[in-house]
Structure 1
Amino acid sequence: MTRRGWLLFAAMSVIWGVPYLMIKVAVDGGISVPMVVFARTALGALVLLPLALRHGPPVWLRDHWKPLVAFSAFEILGPWALLARAEQDLSSSMTGLLIAAVPIIGVVVSRLIGDDERLSPTRWLGLGVGLVGVTVLALPGLGGDSPRAIVEVLVVAVCYAIAPLIMARKLNDVPALPMTAVCLSLAAAVYAIPAALTWPDEVPSLEVTASLIGLGLLCTALAFLFFFALIREVGTSRAMVFTYVNPAVAVVAGVLLLGETLTASMAAAFGLILCGCVLATSGRRLSEA
């Protein structure tokens, strides 16, 4: 991989590892779930739409609007709201670790929808190891004070596993940047009224405001631009490897900047999930997970 490729890879590992921290700061600062999602999507759309218009009018939208709405629902509309709601109770570290199960869930979902791809013994082992890790991580929360939040994050992980399958099967011929801009615009429109109805009574603190701006500009607009550049540089399969690094970044950010606790069981669970992801996706294009 070229030096530019490594720089983009490192940037994506960080940029998509810190949203959990920013979401946590926002919701703990009194920002409503709809407001968090609206701020992120509206700012992202504001940056990406002008760039997308350079590709010309979205004539492809007429033939692809149904899968586009489905993709938006599974990638943005549902997950980003559920994440914000869950982080009202969970730490950003725990949230990031649970999301690490996405590649494993992706393999399971592919099998459930009738994927003809055969699973080797190594990949079956990876599924087992990864699911044990998820169980170790989630079980204490399911039996404790935050079962709803744990379930919400696991639902997000399922959504994140389904969305790429929709894109690969129904939107493969749609240009990525315009598609992303349209999805963000749709989400911003959906959450505009709920956000207005839950607008904070007081001006948010500088820290909270910076988190909302960071979510929209850094973790959404800039992230997608870097992501597309990384795909062009190294290809989709190699580009998606950074998803293995994101949870570790989320943990480090939560521990160092928010003073969150990393327990031995959380570290062990993450190790199991990471090993499971590597094994379960071996020999398989990560873009499908």
Structure 2
Amino acid sequence: MTRRGWLLFVVMSVVWGIPYLLIKVAVDGVSVPFLVFARTAVGGLLLLPFAFRAGAIRTVLRHWRPLLVFTVCEMVGPWFLLTDAERTLPSSLAGLIIATVPVIGAIVVRLTGGAERLTWKRRAGLIVGLAGVAVLVSPKLGGGDAWPIVEVLLTSLGYAIAPLIMARYLNDVPGLPMTAVSLSTVALIYTPAAIATWPEHRPDADVLWAIAGLGLICTALAFLVFFALIREVGPARATVFTYVNPAVAVLAGVLVLGEPLDALILSAFALILVGSVLATSRDVRPAETHRGGNPVETGVR
């Protein structure tokens, strides 16, 4: 990976590791639709002037169909589901379940006709990663609290599909105007529900700061970095930062909110991490040679 790729990777690991903490703080003071509306409206309003100044809005709108699908998979559905789940789940647990994105992504790539072979190493990774999820959620499911877990897993599914859509259909679309249009679209979709659930009183200062952080840092800035990372390293490796941001989510939840950290959580995270690394590993065969004598790499990314 290039130096620029590593820098983007580190930034993404942090800015998408802290949203779970901020969502947990904010959702205690406002409704789920209002929070999704607020974070996307803040991000959209921040980026739209720059998008119009760049004159690329028309280019973005020419790709409105795949952009709409991307927006639904990345924001409209996942952000409602994740926010709703965190009304009951600890932020650290939500962050750990999101670590399944690379595992789910490997399955989605295979099911959608991707060229990657499902080697024995990747098969083992899928099994180990899913075993980690089972260890992590089994006590919750046994207690009858299944739906929040399902919501976060559906969020992971959306997060796994969206980069593939972006890479296959939107790779030539400028990132800033695409982000601005996507965020504004989500804000418009959630406007009626946000109005219906508008807070009766001004939220506490910590809730307002959490919403501002979600909109400015974890949404507007994060997506610009995310699109740059996809273009730098490709869609499969672009989600590898999900190996790290769960650790950021756990650390933030434990240090700021006093959430529990026990052996079960650590062992489950280890299984998910190992599974994700194996499921997205690169299988390289010995170089073959054309008749002209030029070596050809036959490894699978």
Name the TM-score, length of structure 2 as normaliser: 0.87
1:13 aligns with 13
Q: Taking structure 1 as reference, are residues 165 and 228 closer, same or farther at Cα in structure 2, changes over 3 Å only?
A: closer
1:43 aligns with 42
Cα deviation code 1:203-261 (max 9, x no counterpart)? 111111100111001111122334455567x5446654322110000000000000000
RMSD (Å), alpha carbons = 2.1
- Size of the aligned set, in residue pairs, is 283
1:185 aligns with 184
Q: Name the larger-Rg structure.
A: 2
The residue type paired with residue 38 of structure 2 is A
CA distance in 2, matches of 1:240, 1:53: 29
* SS of equivalent to 2:58: coil
Contact 1:89 1:146 in 2 (8 A): no
* SS of equivalent to 2:63: helix
Gaps of 5+ in 2: 284-300
Cα deviation code 1:158-184 (max 9, x no counterpart)? 111111122222222222221111110
CA distance in 1, matches of 2:8, 2:114: 32
Shift of 1:192: 1.2
Report 1:147-226 matches (<5 A): 147-226=146-225
1:108 aligns with 107
Gaps of 5+ in 1: none
Name the TM-score, length of structure 1 as normaliser: 0.91
Report 1:53-132 matches (<5 A): 53-132=52-131
Q: Taking structure 1 as reference, are residues 148 and 228 closer, same or farther at Cα in structure 2, changes over 3 Å only?
A: closer
CA distance in 1, matches of 2:4, 2:259: 33
- Judge which range, 138-147 or 124-133, deviates more: 138-147
Contact 2:132 2:270 in 1 (8 A): yes
Q: Taking structure 1 as reference, are residues 219 and 141 closer, same or farther at Cα in structure 2, changes over 3 Å only?
A: same
1:253 aligns with 252
The residue type paired with residue 120 of structure 1 is T
The residue type paired with residue 53 of structure 1 is F
2:272 aligns with 273
Contact 1:18 1:253 in 2 (8 A): yes
CA distance in 2, matches of 1:221, 1:51: 12
Cα deviation code 1:118-174 (max 9, x no counterpart)? 111111111111111111112221221421101111111111111112222222222
- Judge which range, 148-157 or 56-65, deviates more: 56-65
CA distance in 2, matches of 1:136, 1:269: 6
CA distance in 2, matches of 1:175, 1:281: 27
- Judge which range, 45-54 or 242-251, deviates more: 45-54
The residue type paired with residue 69 of structure 1 is L
- Residue identity over aligned pairs, in percent, reads 61
Contact 1:130 1:274 in 2 (8 A): yes
CA distance in 2, matches of 1:225, 1:48: 10
CA distance in 1, matches of 2:169, 2:9: 27
Shift of 1:26: 0.9
CA distance in 1, matches of 2:242, 2:129: 15
Q: Taking structure 1 as reference, are residues 161 and 5 closer, same or farther at Cα in structure 2, changes over 3 Å only?
A: closer
Contact 1:41 1:187 in 2 (8 A): yes
* SS of equivalent to 2:88: coil
CA distance in 2, matches of 1:104, 1:238: 12
2:137 aligns with 138
Matched, 1:27 2:24: no
Q: Taking structure 1 as reference, are residues 225 and 172 closer, same or farther at Cα in structure 2, changes over 3 Å only?
A: closer
Shift of 1:111: 1.9
CA distance in 1, matches of 2:209, 2:61: 37
